[in-house]
C-alpha cells in the first residue's frame, strides 16, 4: 500500500484510515466485488494496532459502506447509498463527543495491566483485603438484624449514620459539626465530582497542589476549569504562592490534601495551615480539604485537620472509609455549610436517588463498635511495617540511584530517580518483569518521579517488587 497514516496530524489514525478506505471505494481502489484487506494485514502493513483498524471498520460499517461477514471477510456494501440497509450508530463518534473526559492513557494502561495480568501492585491506592476488618464486618452482617428501610433514604444519607459520622469526626478529627451539615457520598470521588459540578462553572480558576492525585482526575478538565498549580515540599504548599496566584487569576476554589498528601506524603505545616485559612477568610476563597489519611499517622501524634481550625465555615471537608476500612463499602462524606450540603444532596439525588441503605447500616455499626479502634491501631502498625520494608528495599536495591522523604503516614512514597530515564520505557520494562507503579507525570510532576504505594502488597511482595523495578531500571540504562 502506498498510503500511510500521518502521525503528526491531530486527527485519530482510525479516522484517517476510514477516510482513506472511503475514498478508495469511491475511486475504485477497492473494487466492489472483492473483500477489503483483512484487519491483520492492514495492521501489519501500516504498523498500527489491530484495534485501530477495527475502529476504522466500525466507522465505515456505521456509515453503511461495508459489511462484515463471518468466514467471508469485510465486503463493500451492495447497498452503498444506505437506501435499505439498517445502520449501526457510529459509537466512536459518540465516545469522542462526550463532555466527560476519559482517564489519561497511562492510567488506562495501568488499570488494564492490573486487571489482565498477575503483577506486584505498587500502583493502586487502596488497601489489600488482608487489611480489611473482614471478621468484624462479617459479624455485623451475621449477628445483627438490619432494621433500616430498603426504600430510598434521606437525600443526605441515613440520619443515624450521619449522626455517627458527626460523633466520629468530633472524636478523631476534632471537627465540631452536626448531621444536617453532612452528606453521605459514594466515596471521596463522588464528593469531588459534586463539588466541581455544583459549585463551579467553566472558566473558573482553581488552585491545585503539584504534584497531586487531583491532577490525574478528568473531572476538573471535563468541567472546563482553569487549574493553577502550587508546588508541594515536605511541609506542603507555600501560602504566599497561593496568595500570589490569587492576585493574578482570582482563584475561585482551593483543593488541598493536607495530611500525608497523595503522592508526596507531605504534611502541611501548622503555620502554613493557619496562614492558608487567613488567606481564605481575607479573600473569601473556599477550601476543599480532601482527607483520606489523617488517621494513619505512624508517630502516634494526633493529626489536626484544616476543618478543625476553620472558624468561619470556609472549608468543605471530604473524607471516606475507603483508605482506612474498605474501599468496597463506598462510604464517603462531605461536611460544610447547610445550604451547600442541601445543594449537593439535591444533585446527588438526581444522579442516584441517594446512597444504598444496606452499606450505610454496616458502616454505621462498625463506626460505633469497639472494633473500630482495634482495627485502626492494627492497620496503622501494618502500614508502617510495609512502609519500612519499602524504604529498606529501595535503599538495598537502588542505593544511590534514588531520593525520597520517608512519609509519616498515608500509603504512598514519592521517589525521585537521580539519573534521568525514559519514563514510558521504564514502565514497559517493569511490567515485563512483573511489577507496576504510578509514573510521576500522571500526577503532574517531572518525569523523574515515581509513586510507590505500599498498601496493596505484603512485605515480601514489596521487597520482590522493588527488586524487579531495580532490574528494569538497570536494564533500560544499559
Annotate 144-172 with DSSP letters as a single string.
S---S-SS---TT--HHHHHHHHHHHHHH
Taking 70 as the threshold, does the pLDDT of residue 163 lie above it? yes
User: Average of pLDDT values for 213-230?
Assistant: 90
Q: What band does 81 get if pLDDT is binned at 50, 70 and 90?
A: low
- If one compares 99 and 172, the residue with the highest pLDDT of the two is 172
| Cell numbers representing residue 79 in the block | 447497498
- pLDDT the model gives residue 348: 94
Q: What band does 248 get if pLDDT is binned at 50, 70 and 90?
A: very high
Residues 6 or more apart whose CB falls under 8 angstroms from that of 442 comprise 104, 106, 107, 215, 216
- pLDDT the model gives residue 174: 95
Tell me if 383 sits within 8 A of 293, measured CB to CB. Answer: no
Taking 70 as the threshold, does the pLDDT of residue 443 lie above it? yes
User: Average of pLDDT values for 86-114?
Assistant: 73
- pLDDT the model gives residue 83: 46
Q: Where are the alpha helices (DSSP H) in 310-449?
A: 338-352, 357-368, 371-397, 423-432
- pLDDT the model gives residue 112: 81
Q: What band does 312 get if pLDDT is binned at 50, 70 and 90?
A: very high
Residue 259 φ/ψ region, left for φ over 0, alpha for ψ in the -120 to 50 degree band, beta for the rest: beta
Give pLDDT tens digits for 332-390.
999 999 999 999 999 999 988 888 888 999 999 999 999 999 999 999 999 999 999 99
Average pLDDT, the chain: 91
- Closest by Cα among 197, 201, 146, 194 to 354: 194
Sign of the torsion formed by the C-alpha atoms of 121, 122, 124 and 127? positive
Tell me if 256 sits within 8 A of 305, measured CB to CB. Answer: no
User: Average of pLDDT values for 131-154?
Assistant: 84
Taking 70 as the threshold, does the pLDDT of residue 88 lie above it? no
Please name each of the domains of the chain with its CATH number.
13-97 (1.10.10.10), 105-125+374-476 (3.90.1150.10), 148-369 (3.40.640.10)
Q: Where are the alpha helices (DSSP H) in 35-186?
A: 39-46, 50-62, 91-97, 105-116, 134-143, 159-173
- pLDDT the model gives residue 233: 94
pTM attached to this predicted model = 0.83
Q: What band does 85 get if pLDDT is binned at 50, 70 and 90?
A: low
- pLDDT the model gives residue 334: 98
Give pLDDT tens digits for 184-204.
999 999 999 999 999 999 999
Give pLDDT tens digits for 14-33.
999 999 998 888 788 888 87
User: Average of pLDDT values for 81-100?
Assistant: 65
| Region of poorest pLDDT, from 70-79, 410-419, 428-437 | 70-79
Amino acid at each position: 500500500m502506498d498510503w500511510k497514516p500521518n502521525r503528526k496530524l491531530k486527527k485519530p489514525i482510525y479516522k484517517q484510515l476510514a477516510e482513506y478506505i472511503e475514498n478508495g471505494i469511491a475511486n475504485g481502489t477497492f473494487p466492489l466485488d472483492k473483500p477489503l484487506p483483512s484487519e491483520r494485514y492492514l495492521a501489519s502493513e501500516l504498523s498500527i494496532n489491530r484495534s485501530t483498524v477495527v475502529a476504522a471498520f466500525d466507522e465505515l460499517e456505521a456509515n453503511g459502506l461495508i459489511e462484515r461477514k463471518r468466514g467471508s471477510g469485510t465486503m463493500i456494501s451492495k447497498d452503498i447509498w444506505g437506501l435499505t440497509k439498517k445502520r449501526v450508530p457510529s459509537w466512536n463518534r459518540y465516545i469522542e463527543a462526550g463532555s466527560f473526559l476519559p482517564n489519561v492513557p497511562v492510567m488506562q494502561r495501568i488499570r488494564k495491566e492490573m486487571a489482565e495480568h498477575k503483577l506486584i501492585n505498587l500502583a493502586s491506592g487502596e488497601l489489600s483485603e488482608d487489611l480489611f476488618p473482614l471478621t468484624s464486618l462479617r459479624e455485623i452482617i451475621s449477628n445483627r438484624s438490619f432494621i433500616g428501610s430498603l426504600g430510598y433514604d434521606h437525600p443526605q444519607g441515613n440520619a443515624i449514620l450521619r449522626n455517627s459520622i458527626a460523633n466520629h469526626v468530633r472524636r478523631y478529627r476534632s471537627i465540631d459539626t452536626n448531621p444536617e451539615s453532612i452528606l453521605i457520598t459514594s466515596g471521596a470521588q463522588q464528593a469531588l465530582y459534586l463539588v466541581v459540578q455544583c459549585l463551579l462553572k467553566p472558566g473558573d480558576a482553581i488552585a491545585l497542589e503539584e504534584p497531586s492525585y487531583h491532577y490525574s482526575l478528568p473531572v476538573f478538565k471535563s468541567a472546563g476549569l482553569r487549574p493553577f498549580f502550587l508546588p508541594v515540599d515536605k511541609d506542603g504548599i507555600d501560602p504566599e504562592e497561593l496568595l500570589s496566584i490569587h492576585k493574578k487569576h482570582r482563584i475561585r476554589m482551593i483543593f488541598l490534601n493536607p495530611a500525608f498528601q497523595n503522592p508526596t506524603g507531605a504534611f502541611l505545616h501548622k503555620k502554613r495551615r493557619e496562614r492558608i485559612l487567613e488567606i481564605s477568610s481575607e479573600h473569601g476563597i473556599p477550601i476543599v480539604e480532601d482527607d483520606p489519611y489523617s488517621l494513619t499517622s505512624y508517630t502516634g501524634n494526633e493529626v489536626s485537620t484544616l476543618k478543625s481550625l476553620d472558624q468561619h465555615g470556609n472549608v468543605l471537608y471530604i473524607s471516606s472509609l475507603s483508605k482506612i476500612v474498605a474501599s468496597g463499602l463506598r462510604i464517603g462524606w462531605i461536611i460544610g455549610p447547610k445550604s451547600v450540603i442541601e445543594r449537593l444532596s439535591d444533585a446527588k439525588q438526581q444522579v442516584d436517588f441517594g446512597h444504598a441503605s444496606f452499606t450505610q447500616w454496616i458502616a454505621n455499626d462498625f463506626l460505633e463498635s469497639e472494633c473500630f479502634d482495634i482495627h485502626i491501631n492494627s492497620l496503622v502498625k501494618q502500614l508502617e511495617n510495609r512502609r519500612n520494608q519499602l524504604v529498606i528495599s529501595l535503599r538495598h536495591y537502588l542505593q544511590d540511584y534514588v531520593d525520597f522523604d520517608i512519609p509519616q503516614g498515608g500509603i504512598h512514597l514519592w521517589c525521585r530517580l537521580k539519573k534521568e530515564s525514559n519514563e514510558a520505557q521504564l514502565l514497559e520494562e517493569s511490567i515485563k518483569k512483573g511489577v507496576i507503579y504510578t509514573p510521576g507525570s500522571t500526577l503532574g510532576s517531572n518525569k523523574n518521579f515515581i509513586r510507590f504505594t505500599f498498601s496493596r502488597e505484603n512485605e515480601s511482595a514489596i521487597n520482590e517488587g522493588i527488586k524487579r523495578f531495580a532490574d528494569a531500571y538497570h536494564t533500560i540504562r544499559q
